[in-house]
Structure 1
Amino acid sequence: MTTMLPIKHVTKHRLRSKSFVFSIVNPCSSSHAACASLAASPSPSTPSTSNSYQITKQEVVSSFKTWFATRKVQLDPLVDRIYQLLNASADNEDLFPALSALSLPLSECLVLRVLRYSATHRDINSCLRFLDWAGSQPNFHHTRTTLVAIFNILVRADRKPGVLECLDGFRRGVFLHNARFHDILVLGYAIARKPQNALHAYARMRFIGLDLDSFSYHVLLDSLAEKNYFNAFDIILRQIRARGFENHATNIIVVKHLCKERRLEETEGFLNDLVRRGEGLKGPEVSFLVGALCECFRFERAVELVKRFGSSGLVPLDHAYGAWVKGLVRGGREDEALEFFSQKKDSEGYCMSSSRYDVLIYRLLRQNRLQQVYDLLVDMNESCIPPDVATMNAVLCFFCKVGMADVAWELYSSRSEFGLSLNHLACKYLILTLCWDGCVVEAYNVVKSLVGKSYFPDEQTFRTLASALYRECKIDEMKELIDLSVSLDIVPTASTYDQYIYALCQAGRVQDVNLVPGELKTVAARASYVKMINGFVKLGRGDNAAQLLYEMKSKGHKLNFPLCTTVICCLLKMDNSRGRFFNLLQMLTRCESPTRCESPCRIYNFFMEGAGRAQKPDLCREVFELMKSNGVEPNLNSRVLVLRGYLRSGRISDALSFFNVVRGQGLECKKLYTTLVNGLCKCNRIDMSLGFFKSMFRLGFNPSLECYEVIVQELCSLQRYQDAIRIVNAYEKTGRPISSFMGNQLLQHSLISPKLHDTCVYLRGVGFSANSTLNLVIGAFSSCRRMTNFLDLERLIEKCFPPDIFTYNLLLKELTKSDMSKARSLISQICQKGYEPDGWTYQIMLVEDTEVFMDGTLGGSASGGKLNTYKELCNIANEMGQLDLIYKFMDLANYQASLNSKRGAAFGFSKIAKQAGDALKPYLRSLLPRLVRNQYDPDKNVQDAMVHIWKSLTCG
Structure 2
Amino acid sequence: MSKNPFKNHYHIHYVCPFIFNSSFSYHIMRTPTRKYITNKTTPFVSSLCFFYNSNSSSSKQILTNPPVSKSLFENPSSDSKEIAGSFRDWFRTSKNQTFERIFKILSIRSDDAASPKDDNDWGLGQLDIKLTESFVLEVLNYKKHDVLNCLRFFDWCGRQPYFNHTNATCLALFKILGRSKLQSLMLDLLDNFKKQRNMHRIRFNDMLVIGYALTRKVDIALKVFGKMRFHGLDLDNVGYHILLNSLVEEGCYDASNVVLEQIRRRGYEDKFTHGIMIKSLCKQGHFEDAEEYLRGLSSRIDVFPHYAFGILMDALCNNGRFSHGTMLIHEFEEMGVLPMQEACGFWIKSLVLAGKSETAYEFLKDKKSVEGYIPDVFRYNILILRLLKENRLKEVCDLLLDMKESQIVPDKVTMNAVLCFFCKAGMMDVVVDLYEDKAEFGLTPHGLVFNFVMNTLCGDGSIDEAYEMLKNSMKEGYFPGKRTFSILADALCREGKLDKVKDIIMFALKRKFIPATSAYEKFIRALCRSERVQDGYLIHEELNRLNNTPSESTYSYLICGFNRARRDDLAARLLIEMQEKGYKPSDKLFKYVVHGICEMDNPEKTFLHLLELQCSVKGYDQRIFGYFICGAGLAHRADLGRGVYDMMLRIGIVPNVISDLLMLRCYLISGKIADAVNFFDDIKRRGMPGKKVYNNMVIGLCKAKKLDFALAVLEQAKDDGIVPSLCCYEELIKLCFSGTKYDEAVLLIKEMEKIGRSISSFVGNTLLLNSLHNDNLHKAWLRLRDPSNETPSSAMLGQVIAVFSGHINSDGKAEDLEELVQKCFPLDRYSYNMIMRKLSINNIDEACRLFKCMCQKGYQPNRWTYDIIVHGLYKHGRTNEAKLWADEMLRRGYVPTECTQVYI
Scaled by the length of structure 1, the TM-score of the pair is: 0.79
One of 74, 77, 83 as aligned partner of 2:103: 83
1:364 paired with 2:387, answer: yes
Structure 2: distance between partners of 1:546 and 1:533: 8
One of 87, 102, 126 as aligned partner of 1:67: 87
8 Å contact kept, 2:275–2:305: no
Structure 1: distance between partners of 2:804 and 2:205: 102
One of 342, 352, 356 as aligned partner of 1:319: 342
One of 777, 781, 789 as aligned partner of 1:760: 781
1:10 paired with 2:25, answer: yes
Shift of 1:363: 2.2
Shift of 1:482: 5.1
1:423 paired with 2:446, answer: yes
One of 757, 774, 778 as aligned partner of 1:736: 757
8 Å contact kept, 1:805–1:835: yes
The letter of the residue matching 1:720 is K
Shift of 1:706: 0.9
Shift of 1:569: 1.6
Q: How does 1:799-810 map to 2 (within 5 A)?
A: 799-810=823-834
One of 565, 572, 588 as aligned partner of 1:546: 572
Shift of 1:713: 0.4
Structure 1: distance between partners of 2:854 and 2:863: 14
What's the counterpart of residue 573 of structure 1? Answer: 599
8 Å contact kept, 1:111–1:131: no
Structure 2: distance between partners of 1:766 and 1:4: 78
Shift of 1:463: 6.1
For the residue of structure 2 that corresponds to 1:591, the secondary structure is helix
User: What is the Cα-based RMSD across aligned positions, in Å?
Assistant: 4.0
What's the counterpart of residue 935 of structure 1? Answer: none
Structure 1: distance between partners of 2:357 and 2:191: 45
1:123 paired with 2:146, answer: yes
The letter of the residue matching 2:386 is R
For the residue of structure 2 that corresponds to 1:309, the secondary structure is helix
* CA 531–755 in structure 1, closer or farther in 2 if over 3 Å, else same: same
What's the counterpart of residue 20 of structure 1? Answer: 44
One of 199, 210, 214 as aligned partner of 1:187: 210
What's the counterpart of residue 339 of structure 1? Answer: 362
8 Å contact kept, 1:24–1:381: no
Shift of 1:582: 0.6
Structure 1: distance between partners of 2:674 and 2:46: 96
Structure 1: distance between partners of 2:351 and 2:418: 22
1:240 paired with 2:263, answer: yes
8 Å contact kept, 1:112–1:146: no
Structure 2: distance between partners of 1:198 and 1:798: 88
One of 664, 670, 674 as aligned partner of 2:691: 670
Shift of 1:614: 1.0
Shift of 1:705: 1.0
Structure 2: distance between partners of 1:849 and 1:129: 89
8 Å contact kept, 1:10–1:402: no
For the residue of structure 1 that corresponds to 2:280, the secondary structure is helix
1:724 paired with 2:748, answer: no
8 Å contact kept, 1:748–1:810: yes
Shift of 1:833: 3.4
Q: How does 1:323-402 map to 2 (within 5 A)?
A: 323-381=346-404, 385-401=408-424
Structure 2: distance between partners of 1:74 and 1:376: 18
* CA 464–295 in structure 1, closer or farther in 2 if over 3 Å, else same: farther
8 Å contact kept, 1:396–1:426: yes
For the residue of structure 1 that corresponds to 2:298, the secondary structure is helix
One of 817, 824, 827 as aligned partner of 1:793: 817
The letter of the residue matching 2:572 is A
What's the counterpart of residue 58 of structure 2? Answer: none
Moved more, 538-547 or 521-530: 521-530
8 Å contact kept, 1:608–1:642: yes
8 Å contact kept, 1:25–1:63: no
Moved more, 417-426 or 744-753: 417-426
One of 568, 585, 590 as aligned partner of 1:559: 585
Q: How does 1:619-634 map to 2 (within 5 A)?
A: 619-634=640-655
What's the counterpart of residue 284 of structure 1? Answer: 307
Structure 1: distance between partners of 2:247 and 2:495: 51
Structure 2: distance between partners of 1:586 and 1:358: 66
The letter of the residue matching 1:786 is S
The letter of the residue matching 1:719 is T
For the residue of structure 1 that corresponds to 2:561, the secondary structure is helix
What's the counterpart of residue 939 of structure 1? Answer: none
* CA 229–461 in structure 1, closer or farther in 2 if over 3 Å, else same: farther
Structure 2: distance between partners of 1:121 and 1:255: 28
Shift of 1:366: 3.0
What's the counterpart of residue 432 of structure 2? Answer: 409
Shift of 1:22: 4.3
Shift of 1:171: 1.6
Aligned residues: 844
Shift of 1:118: 8.9
Structure 1: distance between partners of 2:12 and 2:740: 75
8 Å contact kept, 1:364–1:372: yes
Structure 2: distance between partners of 1:373 and 1:27: 14
The letter of the residue matching 2:747 is R
* CA 724–462 in structure 1, closer or farther in 2 if over 3 Å, else same: same
Shift of 1:225: 3.1
For the residue of structure 1 that corresponds to 2:206, the secondary structure is helix
Cα displacement string for residues 698-718 of structure 1 (whole angstroms, at most 9, x for unaligned residues): 111100011011001000111
Identical pairs, percent? 36
1:98 paired with 2:119, answer: yes
1:228 paired with 2:230, answer: no
Structure 1: distance between partners of 2:135 and 2:118: 21
Cα displacement string for residues 385-442 of structure 1 (whole angstroms, at most 9, x for unaligned residues): 4543212212333344456555433332232233322335545655566666666666
8 Å contact kept, 2:595–2:631: yes
Structure 2: distance between partners of 1:351 and 1:128: 35
One of 215, 221, 224 as aligned partner of 1:198: 221
Shift of 1:361: 2.3
8 Å contact kept, 1:108–1:142: no
One of 171, 175, 179 as aligned partner of 2:194: 171
* CA 649–497 in structure 1, closer or farther in 2 if over 3 Å, else same: same
The letter of the residue matching 2:827 is P
8 Å contact kept, 1:124–1:154: yes
Structure 1: distance between partners of 2:259 and 2:428: 52
Runs of at least 5 residues in structure 1 that lack an aligned partner in the other structure: 32-49, 595-599, 857-867, 874-885, 895-956
Structure 1: distance between partners of 2:894 and 2:358: 59
What's the counterpart of residue 6 of structure 2? Answer: none
Structure 2: distance between partners of 1:472 and 1:99: 45
Runs of at least 5 residues in structure 2 that lack an aligned partner in the other structure: 1-9, 16-22, 29-36, 56-69, 897-904
Scaled by the length of structure 2, the TM-score of the pair is: 0.83
Structure 1: distance between partners of 2:627 and 2:529: 27
Moved more, 690-699 or 235-244: 235-244
Shift of 1:719: 1.3
8 Å contact kept, 2:844–2:873: no
8 Å contact kept, 2:641–2:666: yes
Structure 1: distance between partners of 2:364 and 2:429: 33
Shift of 1:602: 0.5
Moved more, 627-636 or 163-172: 163-172
Cα displacement string for residues 176-204 of structure 1 (whole angstroms, at most 9, x for unaligned residues): 66442222222322333333333333333
The letter of the residue matching 1:318 is Q
8 Å contact kept, 1:57–1:407: no
1:654 paired with 2:675, answer: yes
What's the counterpart of residue 559 of structure 2? Answer: 533
For the residue of structure 2 that corresponds to 1:834, the secondary structure is coil
Cα displacement string for residues 223-247 of structure 1 (whole angstroms, at most 9, x for unaligned residues): 3333333233333333333333333
The letter of the residue matching 1:809 is N
* CA 27–135 in structure 1, closer or farther in 2 if over 3 Å, else same: same
The letter of the residue matching 1:66 is S
Structure 1: distance between partners of 2:863 and 2:24: 42
Cα displacement string for residues 638-666 of structure 1 (whole angstroms, at most 9, x for unaligned residues): 11222222222222222111111111111
